[in-house]
Structure 1
Amino acid sequence: MGLTPTFASLLFFLGLHGICTGFLQENCTNYSLQFERVFSVPGDMAMLNSTLVSPDVFDFQTVPYNITWYDSETGDEISNQTGRIVVQGETLWFLKITENDSGDYVTILRTPFRCYRQVTKLVVDQPEKCGRPRKCNQRLTKGVTDTLPCPLKDYTRKLDSYNISSTLTWYRGCERIVDRVGQYVYRDRTTLLIKEVGAQNNYDYTCSLNFTLGGVAGSVSETIDAWVRDEYSMVPQVHEPTNRTIRAEIGTNFSQLCSVFVPGVGLPFVDVIWSMGNKIIDATHPSERVYTIAQPFRFQDGSKKGVYMELLLAFSQLREEDFDVNYTCQAQSGRGHPQAYFTLLAADPNVMLPIGSVFGCVMVLFITSVIVFYLFKVDIVLWFRKMFPVLYRSKDSDGKLYDAYVAYPQSCAIGFSVEVETFALHALPHVLEKACGYKLFIAGRDCMPGEAIVDSVVENIQASRRLLLLYTASTFASKRHTSSTSSTSSSSNNNNLSKNNNSESTTGGGGVGFDEVYPDARQQLECLAAMHRALIEGSLKVVLVELEKITPAQLALFPESVRHLRKKQGANAFTVPPEREIVKQMNKDHSVETETHHVSAGHLLLLTCHLLVAAHGANVTWSRAGRLELPGGAEVRDRLLWFLPVQASHNGTYTCEIRDETRSLKLNFGVSVSTGQCPDPPENISVPQGVRGGLPCKQKEIFRLNKTRSIRWMKDCRPVEPISVDESGYLRLPVASEEDGGKYTCLVDISLDGRKYTAARSIQLTIKRDLTDAVLAKPEVMFPRWQVVVVEVGKAAELKCLAYIGFGEDPDIVMYWTVDGKFVEEYEGLVESWKYTHNRGRVYGLSTLSISKVLPLFLNVSIHCNIMNRVGRNAGLVLLQEGNLSPSSTSYLFH
C-alpha cells in the first residue's frame, strides 16, 4: 500500500527537523571519511564534493532529498557567506582558503525515510615558492611526443555545470608556458602536449585554473612532478605476413605467423590481432577450429633495438569457407596501426605428387634392395641357386673339382700362426663349405700322403676355379723379392725344391719369378703358379685375403707381382676396423627458480611445465630430488605431472626437464602439503576499504581440462555466498570493509576417470585502511573495439567511444582521438570531448568525436579512441566507409 503525497511530504519535513537539533542526535548511515582528501593552500579556492548523491546510496532520481554541511568541530551548519563560502547542494566551495579552514566537514543527506552521513577532509598546507607542496607524479616517455593531464578536471566539469567560464595556465617551475611556443602546446583545456620529450622535461609543472564564483575571482592550482623514462616505442612494423596469397589443401591443418617488430626500449603498449575479413579472431584454445596462440616476446639488441611480438594463427582443419578470404594481422598502438594480410586459396591438383611418390617409392625400394643385396648377397645368391637351379648352368662340365684352392702359410713357413691355421682349416670350411656349399682344396687337409709337392700344387690349382691367397704382414717379409725377366724352364728346379726346402732357386716362369727361394717350398710354388696363371695366362682368379693390417713399409717388401695384383683388384681384409671416435658435446643446463604450490592432502594437483611453450616435440621428464622415480600417487600424463590425490609424502621439489638436440631446460616446482580442507595462501591481495573488488580462482591447469566442474568459495574455511562467480571462478566482492579480510579458498570439484576430485587454492585478502594507497585499474574500451561506420563524404558525422574506468572517477584518465595516427588538432573540422558516466556503481568515460564534414582522407584509415592512465592504456578502432545513409543503412560492430 503506497503513501499519499501529502503524508510523504509530512514525513520529509519531519526529517528536516533534525537540522535544528544538530546532526549528532540523528541515527544516520555512516559512510565514514571520504576516500578522496582535498588539499589546498591559503589564498586558493577549494571545492569539497560529497559522493552521497549516488545510485549506490539511494535512488536520488525519484526520492526527494536535502543536503546540509556542518563543521565537525563546532557542529554548526555551514551556509553561504559572502566572499567566503558558497554551498551548492553536494558541493561546498571555499572562495579564499585560510589555515583555520583545515579540518573535517560533515555532509548530512536526508530523505523522507532515512539519512546518510559522510565526512570530507580538507588539508591546508603552506605554499611553496613555485608550485604546490602536494605533488602528483606523472611519467613522460623520452624521445616522443607525450602529454601531461591537469588533475583539475573535477573543477572544470563542476564549473561547466554552473555555466561559469574558466581559463587554465601552465607553468614550468615559476616560468609561465606560452601556448605553441617551443615544445609546448595547450592540447585542450586540461592537457599539456610536450613535443620530443627529453631529459630537460624532468621538472615540476603547475596548472592553475582561474575563474569567478560568488562574485569572487580566484584560482586553484595543482603541481605535477614529471619524470622522464627511457622506455619508448616507435611505429610497429609488420614483418609477416607479406600481403601475398598462400595455397593449402582442404582438410589439412594450417598455420601462419604474424610477426610485428616494435622499435624502441622496454615493453611497448601494442596489441597484435588477427581478423578474418571484418571479424576479429579472438579464440585462443586449441579446442576451437580456428584459434590464435601468443608467442613469447623476442627482444633485439644492437643498433636497432626493439621487441618482436608474434601471434600464430592456426587452423586445425581447413574448410571450404576458409578459402578466398583475406586474413589480416594488425598491430594497434598509439604510434600507428600498420597491418598486413595473406589470402588463403585452395591448392591446385598436384599431378607431380603421385609421380613423385611413385618415383620416391621406387628410389627407396632400389636403395633398400642395393643395401640388402650388399649385406646379404652371398645368402641371396645361394638361396637363388637352391630355389632356381635351372637358372644356373652346371659347373661340373668345366672339369674343375674345386671351387677354390686355399693357399696359406703352413707350419714352419714365414707368417705362420695358430690363428691363421685355424682360420684356414676351420673358419673357411665352416662358412664356405657347410654354409655356402662350395668345394675347397686346403693343403694339409686334402693332399695325399707322400704326394710330390710340385704335382700336388700344379694339379690341384689346375682343378680349382679360383685361388684364395691368405697372408699376413710377415708372409713375404723374410727377404726382398723382385720380379725376374728370366724365361728359363722350372721343371728341374721345382723337383729339386721337393727334395730340399732350404735350397735356392733362380727360376722364373712366364716372366714371373722370385730371386730367392721361400723357406717353405709349397708356399713358394703356390704363389708362383697363382701369379703366373692370374697375370700371364689369365686363366685363374686369385682372391687376396689379408689376415691383418698391412702398413706401407710392410707392403714395400711384398713381391712385385702381389703388389701389382693387390693394386689392380684390391684385397679382402679380415682385420678389425679401428673404432670410430665419438665426440659428445653436452650443453650447459638452464634452470628456473622454484615455484611453490600450496595444497591440502587429499586434493587434486596438476603441474604444468611452462617451458612447453617453446619446446614442442622435445623430450620431457619429471623427477623428484634428482630421482626419476616418482612417489606413489604421482604420475605423468601427456607430459604433465598429476597428483591423484595429494598425499603428505608428496612434500618436496619436483623438476620438469626438457631436452632437445641443442639444450636442456629445467623448471622447479615446490609442493607444500598441509592438512585441512583449505591450504595455506601463497599470495596476498590488498583492497582499499570502501572499494569494490574481486578475487581470481587461479586454477588454470584444471580449467584447461575442459571437464564438467563446479566452483565454490570459502572464507577462513567457511562457505560464503558470493555476489557472483563467473565461469573462470572470479569471485566478485561487495564494498570492502574490515571484516572482509581473511583467507579465501577457491575449490573446484571435477570428475576424472569416474572419480571425483577437488582442487583448491587459497588467497589472503587484506583490507587497507590507509586511504592514500589507491588501486588503479587498466582502462577497457567497451565500444568501439572494431567498428565499420558508413558515412557520406561532405556530410557531418559523430563517433562515440565508451570505456570502463573503474569504481571511481580517476583524475589521471585521459581520453582522446587519433586519425591515421595523428591528433585531431592537426585536422580542421574535428572536435572531441568526453565526460564521466555512471552505471550500477561503475564509472565509464564517454568520448565524442564530431566531424563537421567527412573528407575523403578520413575514409578507410584507422580512427582510434584512446584512453590511458598511470596503469596502462587501451584503444578502440573505427573505420569510415562511404555509402548511402538510407534508413536501412547500418554500422557493423565487431567485438
Structure 2
Amino acid sequence: MGRLSLVFLVALLRATECGVISNKEPLGSESCRNFGLAFERMFAIPGESPLLECPLQIQYLFDNPETPYNVTWFEERTGWEISGGQQNVSLSGTSLWFPNISMQSQGRYVCVLRAQSRCYKQAAVLVVSEMSSGDCIRPQRGFQSISSGVNDLLACPLRRYIRSVDHPSIQWYKNCEPLRKDEKFAPNEGFLNIRKVHLDDAGLYTCKMTFSLGGVVGEMAESVECEVRADEYLEKPRLIEPVNEIIKVERGSSFRKGCVVFVPGKGTHHVAVLWKVLLGSEEEFISENTSRRIHQERMNESRTEEGIVLVRTLSVSDVWQEDFYLNFTCMASSSRGTPSGQFSLVPADPNLVLLLGLLLGLVALLFVMGVSLCTVFKVELALWVRTVFPFLYKTTDGDGKQYDAYIAYPRVLDGSSEKAEVFAMSTLPQVLEGRYGYKLFILGRDGLPGEAVVDVVEEALTRCRRLLLLYTSTSLCSPEALEWAEQQTGLYRGLVENTVSIVLLELEEIREPDRLPHSVRLLKEKQGALQAWKRRKRWMCCDWKMEERLTSLDPSARFWREVRYHMPVRGKAKNRNWFSF
C-alpha cells in the first residue's frame, strides 16, 4: 500500500504540472475538473472506525499555498452532500470519519474542493468486508517484501493517518498473535523493525491503530502479506547530501545542487527522491517542468557493488532575492523510511580576494606605468622639478668653482673638427650661456694670451664643475689626439682623481667604436654619451630632412634637455649648519 501510494503521488504531481486532467463532469449546478477514481482503497470491517481521506493532493493544486478553499463530500450513489450531523459519518478536517462502520457504508465518496475561481473533484473507494466466523485474518491485505540476512522493516499502511487523529497507538500482530518489543521486533512510529530477517519471518502482519477523535475512541487496522527474499536485499536509504548546509551564492547567478541518496544492497528499489521548499508554514514540492526558473531534473541512477546511488539535481537558473534563507529539502521516500536533508542559500560575501587582487594589480600597473614614465621622461621630470622647486637643491655659490663646465673639443684641422669647433665656440655658448645662464670655459676664448696651454687647462679644470668632452668619429683616433692636452688632463682628473664629472658629447656617429681610446670607451660604456647627431624618426618620408640635419649639427631639443640634465643644479637653498645654535 505504501509503495502504491508513492507511485500515485509522483504520477499526480506530474499530471498536475503538465495539465493532464480528465474530462469535466457536472456536479449539481456546477462543473468541476474531475480527477476520476483514486487508485488507493480504504479497507475496513464492520465495527471499526476508519478515516477516508480526500484523495486530492491539495498542496499541488494551487501555486499560492495561502489560497482559501473549502472541501465538501458527496455520496456518489445518492448524490447527497454529507454533513456533520449524520450518525454514521462525520467530517474531520478534509476527511470523512465513520465511528462505527457497517456494510451499508461501503461505496464511492466524492471529495469536492472549491476555491474562488476553481473547482476540483475526485472519488475515493471505501470497501467494507465481513470476516469469516472464527477467522482472525482480514479479507483484504497489502503486500510487502523484506530481505533475509539483514535488518529490515515493514511499513504500516495506516501511518499516514497518525497526524490526523489524537493519541494514536499502533499494535502489531503476526498471524493474529500480538508482537511485543524485543530483540527481534521493534515497533517504531508506524514501522516494524525486524532484526536479522530469517525465512521464518514471512507471514501475515497486521497493524491496528487505536486513537481518539472529538473525544470518541476508535480503531482501524490493515494487514500486510510479508514475503522474505533470499536473493536480494535493500536497506534503508541513506541521504549523503545535502546535510543542513548553508551555501553562499550571488544574486542573479545560476545554481545547481544535487541530492545524493545511497541505497545499500542489491535488487529493485522503490525509492523516490523529491525536492521541496518550505514557504512560510507550508511545504511545496518543486516542479519537474524544466521551463521554470526553479525545477528538479530527472533522477539519475547508478549501481555499485555496495548498492544503488540515486542523484536528483535542483536547478535555479536565476537566483532571486526571495530565494535567500529558504529551506530547500530533499526527501528520499521509501517503505523503509524517508530520510531528508536540507540547505539554505545566503548572499555571498564580497570577494575580498578578488578586490585585493584588483587593488594590487592596479597598484602594480600604476607602479609599472610610473616607472616607465620616469624612465622615458626622467630628464623632463628632473628639469621640471629643478624649475618649480629650486629650493630643494643647494646653491652652487661658495663651492670654490667659477665655471659650470669646461668645453673641450678636438682641434684637428679636418672637416669634422671644423664643425665641432663651430659647435663648441658658437652653438654651445648661445644655448647654455645665452638661454640658460650657465658659465662655460672655452680654451682660446677665456684664457689669457701667452699662457702655457697645459697650465691653463690644469687651472681651468680645478675651477669647473663639469667637463664637456666633444668628439667626432676621427678626432680621438688621429695621432694628434694623443697630444690633446684637454682630453688627457680631463680624463685623468675624471677617471683617476675623480675631481670632475665628465659628460661625453658625441657629435658624429661612431661606426667603429673599437677605434676610440680605451679610457673613452670605458667611460661611454659606463655612463653613455649624449649624441648630438641622433634624432628620433617620426615619419619615413622625412628621412631626407634628418640626413640634412645630421650633416649640419643641429641637435634636437631632446639633446639639449639631456645636456641641461647633466649640468650642475643651481638651487636656491642656502647651506645651513644644523648643529649651530
> By the TM > 0.5 criterion, same fold?
no
Question: Highest CA radius of gyration, 1 or 2?
Answer: 2
**TM-score, normalised to structure 1's length?**
0.25
**TM-score, normalised to structure 2's length?**
0.38
**Larger fraction in helix:** 2
**Larger fraction in strand:** 1
